[in-house]
Structure 1
Amino acid sequence: MTALQPSLMPSAPGASQPLESLTGGGTMINWITVADADLPLFEDWYNFQHLVERVSTPGFRRARRFVAAQRRTLDTTDFLTVYETDDVQVLSSPEYLRRLDSPTELTRRVVPLFVEFRRAACTVTAVAGLGSSARVLAVEIPPGTDLAEVRRRLTTDHLPRLIAGHLLHVGSLHEPDAGVTAAKASTAEGRSSVTQQPAESALLLLEPQTGVDADTVTAELVDLLPGITGREFTLLFEMRSAPAPVAAQEGPA
């Protein structure tokens, strides 16, 4: 399956060079629920250690951490993390698996604290729009859906129309790769997470325009995805890999 790389929207006024939304053709999607009592340790581990370790892995480009806008329970908090990679194969690469097989002591302490943990390595199969937002609407598409048809209609109709109407900045479709997702299971970190489950649903990530509510966006998609429901998340933290340094140019002799 060929990923559709982020591209310049033809309607972008005054753009003189390519602009981006997602930064790669692969993603790792993590859904994590944590007890509120464990949040200080979890946040410290995630932002100061875990993301540094992950995003410094060759092939990783960006990580964005989101928190659910609404709670499901009084004493837990739900998080969504989206890691962007060159392609989905980065998530079964020898270097990535080596790091999973050598978790830090703090990782060994924190991962078993997860109340719920779902994870999927995905290929980005559709993307449209420019930039990124601090608010996302996550729509899980159940297994058994005709994803080829969803992909076709998203790229030819729904996403361009939502963007042209200034309801949406970016929309992207992430389709799970079960084989790559399962590669973690044989590592030390994979074995330490007794709550981990594969996220089997494809994920439609929608980044609405400021002031546009979620219901307005999902109402434009009901003909494509009947019964559509989405969950809002807001950005907590972002980390990017550094681009390769530009070689210094010598001045004229």
Structure 2
Amino acid sequence: MTGLLGRGVLVNWGGVVAEQEDDYNAWHSMEHMPERLSVPGFRRGRRAIGVDGTSEDQKYFMMYEAETADVFVSPPYLARLNDPTPWTRRILSAYVAPSRTVCRVRQSIGRGVGGWNATVQFADPLGPIDWLPAIADIPGVLGAHILDGDTQLGQQPTAEKAFRESRGEVDRTVVAAILIDSYDHRAAGISLRATLDRLGDAAEGAIATMYRVQHVIGAEDAR
């Protein structure tokens, strides 16, 4: 089982003002992900939308997998961050509650990308976890992954960051995250509840959300 494609991950949660949501989805699929996946070291990108009832500030989950976390501070990537297209400037200026964290992959068990994601965000470090295989073995689950966030790496001022924070909300970071891939809605819900049960007190204050995957793109798609 291959799991995530690399040891570095960039995770993003947030929303976008309602009147620009269609424009956001088109931009992210047609320009943004292909642009990012053309950067050396990027391996795969995805976008997912929250299920009914998800708060507006958590409505979208976006993620990029890379060979290492250092790809997200590499000169080719920083050059993109400091030269945003007009479309990128317009969309980033419409972001709501932006969240952006470079993470290192602690553990990854997987059989590819599912149509549903469950995510848990943590503001405090996660202690040792030895039960991830049990989550991955739940029927319908395709993968389970633990990410350790670096709240300093990749947080330098860039042109894109200025647009993203132009509505007055600064980028939020996470200290850790758990991501679960599944092929149906029911499995996503069961695995999320099982994860929270296993976490016990560590789940206090965590943000747990379920998403339907909208688009996945690999590096070969950006060529």
- TM-score tier (shorter): 0.7 to 0.9
CA contact 2:12–2:61 (8 Å) conserved in 1: yes
Residue 129 of structure 1: how far off its partner (Å): 2.8
Q: 1:219 to 1:238 in 2, by over 3 A?
A: closer
Which residue number corresponds to residue 178 of structure 2?
A: 204
Which residue number corresponds to residue 169 of structure 1?
A: 142
Higher RCO (Cα < 8 Å, 6 or more apart): 2
Q: 1:216 to 1:189 in 2, by over 3 A?
A: closer
CA contact 2:135–2:194 (8 Å) conserved in 1: no
**Secondary structure, counterpart of 1:173 in structure 2:** strand
CA contact 2:51–2:211 (8 Å) conserved in 1: yes
In the alignment, structure 1 segments of 5+ residues that lack a partner are: 1-7, 9-19, 246-253
TM-score normalized by the length of structure 2: 0.86
Identify which of 207, 212, 219 aligns with 1:234: 212
CA contact 2:135–2:191 (8 Å) conserved in 1: no
Which residue number corresponds to residue 84 of structure 2?
A: 103
Which residue number corresponds to residue 25 of structure 2?
A: 43
Alignment deviations for residues 15-54 of structure 1 (CA, whole Å, 9 cap, x no partner)? xxxxx23111111001120122111211221111111111
1:34 is aligned to 2:8: no
CA contact 1:136–1:233 (8 Å) conserved in 2: yes
Aligned length: 215
Matched to 1:172, the amino acid is H
**Secondary structure, counterpart of 2:71 in structure 1:** helix
Alignment of structure 1 residues 118-137 onto 2, 5 Å: 118-137=99-118
Q: Which structure would you say has the larger Rg? A: 1
**Secondary structure, counterpart of 1:149 in structure 2:** coil
State the percentage of identical aligned residues. 24
Q: 1:77 to 1:163 in 2, by over 3 A?
A: closer
CA contact 1:34–1:77 (8 Å) conserved in 2: no
Matched to 1:203, the amino acid is A
Alignment of structure 1 residues 36-75 onto 2, 5 Å: 36-72=18-54
Which residue number corresponds to residue 23 of structure 1?
A: 5
Q: 1:216 & 1:178 partners in 2: Cα distance?
A: 27
**Secondary structure, counterpart of 1:181 in structure 2:** coil
